[in-house]
Every structure is written in C-alpha cells, then in structure tokens.
Chains A and B, each alone.
Chain A
Amino acid sequence: MSAIQITDVEKSYKALRALGGVSLAVEEGEFFGLLGPNGAGKTTLISIIAGLNKADAGTVKIHGYDVERDYREARKRLGVVPQELVFDPFFTVRETLRMQSGYFGLKNNDAWIDEVMHHLDLTVKADANMRALSGGMKRRVLVAQALVHKPPVIVLDEPTAGVDVELRQTLWKFISRLNREGHTIVLTTHYLEEAQALCNRIAMLKSGKVVALDATKALIRRIAGAQLTVRLVQGVLPEKLLPLVSHVDDMNRKTEFTLRVNDYAEVEPILATLREAGAVIDDMHLQQADLEDVFIQIMEGEK
C-alpha cells in the first residue's frame, strides 16, 4: 500500500486552476521530493493531503485512508510542517508540544517530546515563550509539532526557507534518521541541491500538473547529460557547434561557451572541431549535470 496515493486531484480558486489532475503515489519509506517554481501548486497539493484544503475532484489517501472520509485515521498518520512560520504566542515551547500531542490523542508523551527537542536543539528553549524565539527556533518548534505523534508520513513544506546552515544540518540529520527508521518523507524545497542529496524520487510540478516523476538519479541521467565549458582566447566557435550551446558568457573579451554533451565520448570530437577551426582554448572544464540543470530544462521545455 502506498504511503500517499494521489489520484486525479483537481483544485481551482475562482478563475485560477491550481491543480489540473494530479496523480502520483509515494511509497512507504521513500524520501520524496516535490519540486516546482512558485505557484506550481505544491502547497495547494500539500494542503489537500493535510486536509486543510478540499480537492474539487479526485482523492488522496494516506496509508489507504481517504483524507476526507476517514480523516481521523488519515491525519493520525500524517505530520505536516507548514510553510508559514506560525506559532501561538500564549504558550511556551513545551506547552505547545504537549498540547499538540494531546490534539493527537496522546497523554504522557514527555519522553518523546524531550527526544524531539533534543534532536532539534530545542532543549534549552523548552520553557521559553514562543514569542521570545528567533525565526529559526520557531521553525524548529514547527518541525517538532509535526513529529509529536510519530507520524509514519512526514510532509515538510519548504522547511529550510530562510534558515541558517546550522539548522539545515540539524534538521536533515534528524529527518534522514527518521527516514532510515522507516518514516516516509515528502519534501518541497527551492534548494535543488538539498533535494538531490536527500530525495530518492522526485516529482516536478508546473502550473498544477506533474511534468516529471522519476528516481532522482534517473532524472538527472535521462535528461541532462554533462556540460562542457570552454573559454576561447582566440578564434570563434564553429557554426557546427552552435546547436550544442546552452549558455554564453562574455568576460574580458574572452568568450565562454557552455555546451551540452550527452556522453563523454562527444567531448573529443568537439575539441577536434575547435582545433580545426583555429580556435585557441584558454580554459575548459567538464561538469556533470545536476538537478538544477534538469529542473531548468524541464521547466523551460514545458513553456
């Protein structure tokens, strides 16, 4: 059974079509990335999974439980870290976490609350009022709140937006540990290197539609290949190579060209073509494509 099963989900806000028939499944134990530009529908989709929004059509199931019909069972299995930095100013960190446990029907949850606070470096702030915390600390509390009931499925909506390096490392260490222990993780982020490092599978969303859905490695391999960057000190780029150019940079009258290569075997013929044209190379490097290249390629391809 899938951890999250999304089937033909549609959602419109008046004239705006936020989701136009999204279907995807996140399997148990996955570290799944949900990527896309602002306004692609990521947060809308997460809100529907969390029961904060209602889909106009289609269904979402968490471990087989429909988020509307069996909302109690579905929500027990789901922990959501919302994107907005929200907090209740009336309470301390510990009170906040105890109450969140209670909402999920848990009594005497202090041992786990202490453990979560410890892993998120929150212990020293346990008795501080929420108002008195910095933005980063508030973010940690939001993460802790999503974890009080040890949900098998954890959804993080841009948890590292505007967050310092230390918290990112703390957070990913803890979340990765939870993932190794069997929790399913769904992550949205604009930091693609983060997604590449953490997620085993990725869905890309654009204008409310899934435009790519594959294992992270396959996605990178399938679409982007590598990039060869050459800086010419003399001569011009032969016309034959122009179709390969993905980027041109003019600096100090030396022109730098970035060429797409699908295979390392294509590098040698390119260099030979340049030599024959009388071009002199000042500098060159070969770079394996990363998720960012794939992302840009897919998003531009969809235009």
Chain B
Amino acid sequence: MIGFRTLFYKEVLRFWKVATQTITAPVMTAMLYLLIFGHVLEEHVQVFPGVRYTAFLIPGLIMMSVLQNAFANTSSSLIQSKITGNLVFVLLPPLSHWDLFGAYVLASVVRGLAVGAGVFVITVWFADLHFAAPAWIAVFALVGAGMLGTLGLIAGIWAEKFDQLAAFQNFIIVPATFLSGVFYSIHSLPPFWQAVSRFNPFFYMIDGFRYGFFGQSDIDPVTSLVIVSAFFVAVAALAIHMLKRGYKLRH
C-alpha cells in the first residue's frame, strides 16, 4: 500500500511542479474557446430550450479539459520516463501491476479534475449555470477521467517515441473529444453523423456530464453511464493485462 501511495504522490508532485504547463495552460485554452465560440455562436445557436449557448458550452469545455488532461498526464509521464530511462526506478521495486495501474490512473484523475475545476472557476462568471443533478457531474467526471487516464497509460506503454504518442493523441484523442458534442448537440447533425457519434464513447461522457448541469441530455444518463463504465472496464482490463505481462516495459 505504501508503494502505491508513494507512486501516486510522485505522479501528482510531477505535474504539480510544472503546474503552469499542466494546469494553467489548459485552463487558458478552454477560456479562449469559450470567448471565441461563445462570442460567435451565442446569437445563432440554442441547443436546449431556455439554455443560452455559452451556458451550454461551459460543461462541454470543462469535461473536454478533464479528459484531455487525464490522458496527457499518464501518457506524458510514461513516455518521458521510458525515453529518459528513469522508469527503471519504478520497475525495480516490488510494485505490482495493480499498484502501477492504480497510482498512474488516480494521479491522472487528480490532474484532470484539477484542470476541470480551474476551467469551471474561470468560466462560471460568463453564464448562468445550474446544477440540476450534481451527483451526475461528479460521477461522469470521475469515470471519464479514469478512462482517459487509462487510455493514456496504454498509449504511454505502447509508444516508443514522442511522435508515436503525438499520433495517438492527435489522430484519436483530440478528434474523438472534439466530435463528441462539446460544441453542439448531436441532434443538430445529419442522421449519418448522429449514428457515427453514437459509437464515440466520449460523446456519452460529455452528454452525461452536461445532464448534471441542465437536467437535459441527448441520451438518458443511466444509459450513458453504463456505456462509459463498460468502456472504462474494457480499457482498464487491457492496461492491467499489459502491465502484468510487462508489455514493452520488461523485454
């Protein structure tokens, strides 16, 4: 247990020591999205009746930041440790695959939630937000961050070079988050793209998270939670299997 706690603490300390880059910068980015998209679309778009576009946008931006930063934390920590070679300090001690999985993913959840909280604090002044069902906010933030932290772990283990990791991030994670309904409701899409969106697990995370604020969503939040949890369990099982086997870590 001490081993797990120490690794968790080390992973949190790692991003905390460079908080300008790991927390402040993504909060700033989210705010720019809000200013620009909010300004351009405020008068033209209304997704939910009675909810202004800026208010609609804010939960999506918070969740997008949570997800992207949870992914960034595990993946960047692992690839850096692998390339500089200091991953050996974690591989030599008697840490189990459960310790490694738990510590890395939990730290990424902390980073994701810290950035999400930062985005919330900055953007909350721009619109009237409601908290129709706060428990859903917490549940989707946690499960979503856990799933992206796990995906980051898988990507970090798999990637051997920075550009492989960048490919994973830029061609899978970023499109999937952008096309998940952060900026729009999928009901505004043509039927074909609506159908495609339903295969995107990120869509259910954003939709469920947003339900917590407005009590309205494209999909029933229970359904979304089941789908997101199933994805989480699947990627977690894959990650734990990789760690247990020592895939690309112990040759």
Contacts and interface: CB of A to CB of B under 8 A. Distances in A.
Interface in B169-219: none
A84 B92 contact: no
Given A99-B6, A103-B6, A86 B94 contact: no
A101 B93 CA distance: 9
A52 B14 CA distance: 23
A71 B250 CA distance: 13
Contacts of A52: 88, 91-92, 250-251
A74 B6 CA distance: 20
A102 interface: yes
B44 interface: no
Interface string B86-118: 101111111110000000000000000000000
A301 interface: no
A103 B250 contact: no
A104 B10 contact: no
A151 B154 CA distance: 32
A87 B18 CA distance: 17
Contacts of A149: 93
Given A50-B92, A51-B250, A53-B250, A104 B85 contact: no
Interface in A71-91: 71-76, 78, 80, 82, 84, 86-91
Contacts of B18: 90
> In the complex, which range does the number of interface residues on chain B fall in?
20 to 34
A258 interface: no
Given A54-B250, A86-B86, A103 B13 contact: no
B47 interface: no
A95 B5 CA distance: 14
A57 B17 CA distance: 43
B33 interface: no
Given A54-B246, A75-B93, A84 B85 contact: yes
B3 A102 contact: yes
A282 B86 CA distance: 57
A80 B90 CA distance: 12
Contacts of A161: none
B162 interface: no
A54 B14 CA distance: 29
20 contacts: A54-B250, A71-B94, A74-B94, A75-B93, A78-B92, A82-B85, A82-B88, A86-B86, A87-B86, A88-B81, A88-B84, A100-B89, A102-B3, A103-B93, A104-B3, A104-B94, A105-B1, A105-B94, A107-B2, A145-B89
Given A52-B88, A86-B88, 10 more contacts: A13-B251, A75-B93, A82-B85, A86-B89, A90-B14, A102-B3, A102-B7, A105-B1, A106-B2, A107-B2
Interface of A: 13, 50-54, 71-76, 78, 80, 82, 84, 86-91, 95, 99-107, 145, 149
9 smallest CB-CB distances across A and B, nearest first, come from A102-B6, A103-B93, A86-B85, A72-B94, A75-B94, A88-B86, A105-B2, A86-B86, A104-B93
